[in-house]
Amino acid sequence: MVYEKRLKLAIFISGSGTNLQSLLDRSSDGRLSADVLFVISDRGDAYGLERAKRYGVPSYIVDYRKHIDSFRHVSDRIERWRLGYRQAEAEMLEIFKRYEVDYIVLAGFMRLLTPYFLENFKTEEGVFRVLNIHPALLPAFPGMHGYEDTFHYGCRWGGVTVHFVDEGEDTGPIIAQAVYPIFPGDNLEDVRKRGLTLEYEIYAQCINWLASGMVDIEKIEKGKPKVTIKDPNYKDIIQKWIALAFGKI
């Protein structure tokens, strides 16, 4: 595949950071046409911070909890959160002034980004330069517990979705999705494991598609931008994901 450029990424995490690990590994061995400039975590105990350190990637802790608590004199809870989020996002924007970032990649970041922050990353086509991976086949099961919700609902297929972030929760334009089977006798951990294997693969593929200019975005008046992947090998790639989901590769 010919990449037009190596993208510069900022990765946001809150937890274990296995997606971060996959992107760091692939960036260093050449499977990802992108470099990770820095990592932001909204909490100091995120294990992903260790992973960044091992790769010598700078990381910043933007402690949302502390920002919210600094408004403890405000009696209205929603207002307290609004002010705390604004302050945390302002801190993040200060960090961005030191870098030139092509895309923000959310990898298990458990906070919603508000329009105040997102507007800084708006493109002409009407999407923000912010990607998310969601552990369900959107629009099914948005929110924090994609694997649990898929499993407990009794779904026979689960899925993972990479999408541009918009102002809503898991509502932005879809770039790619992959599905995996859920077999009788599977438990939640089987399901999560199968899904995560796909997550690593499709997140890297989406970033490579962006790097090679294969993600076409059409602005739609008063509607969600339309995303089309212009890759001559699209079907082969999807088939590879299906094989992977069945443990065949």
Least distance (Å) between residue 92 CB and ligand GRF: 18
User: 134, 145, 152, 163: which is the annotated catalytic residue?
Assistant: 134
Distance CA 39, CA 44 (A): 12
Q: Where does this chain touch ligand GRF (CB under 6 A) — which range of 31-39, 61-69, 129-137, 225-233?
A: 129-137
Choices 16-24, 27-35, 37-45, 118-126 (CB under 6 A): range interacting with ligand GRF: 16-24
Q: Report residue 87 CA to chain centroid gap.
A: 22
Quick check: 84 binds ligand GRF (CB under 6 A)?
Answer: no
Q: Which stretch binds ligand GRF (CB under 6 A): 17-25, 32-40, 71-79, 119-127?
A: 17-25
Q: Cβ(32)–Cβ(23) under 8 Å?
A: yes
Among 8, 18, 125, 148, binds ligand GRF (CB under 6 A): 18
Decide: is 133 part of the binding site for ligand GRF (CB under 6 A).
yes
**Closest among 162, 116, 112, 103 to 136, alpha carbons compared:** 162
If one asks whether residue 134 binds ligand GRF (CB under 6 A), the answer comes out as: yes
For residues 43 and 14, the answer to whether their CB atoms sit within 8 Å is: yes
Compare residues 108 and 126 and give the one whose CB is closer to ligand GRF: 108
Q: Which of 159, 199, 206, 214 lies at the binding interface for ligand GRF (CB under 6 A)?
A: 199
Q: Which pairing describes strands 174-181 and 157-164: parallel, antiparallel, or unpaired?
A: antiparallel
Q: Is 70 one of the binding residues for ligand GRF (CB under 6 A)? A: no
Residue 134: active-site member: yes
Comparing CB distances to ligand GRF, the nearer of 135 and 173 is: 135
Query: Dihedral sign, CA of 50, 51, 54, 57?
Result: negative
Among 7, 10, 11, 15, binds ligand GRF (CB under 6 A): 15
84, 108, 126, 173: residue in contact with ligand GRF (rule CB under 6 A): 108
Is the bond preceding 139 in cis, omega lying within 30 degrees of 0?
A: yes
159 scored as a contact of ligand GRF (CB under 6 A): no
- Decide: residue 117, CB within 10 A, 0-12 exposed, 13-18 middle, 19+ buried: buried
User: In angstroms, what CA-CA distances link 26 with 5, 19, 141?
Assistant: 15, 11, 29
Q: Which of 210, 180, 173 is nearest to 196 (CA)?
A: 180
102, 211 Cβ separation under 8 angstroms: no
Q: Which is nearer to ligand GRF, 125 or 186 (CB)?
A: 186
CA pair distance 109, 181, nearest whole angstrom: 26
Q: Can residue 16 be called a binding residue for ligand GRF (CB under 6 A)?
A: yes
Q: Which residues are catalytic?
A: 134
- Chain residues that interact with ligand GRF, rule: CB under 6 A: 15-19, 107-108, 133-135, 199
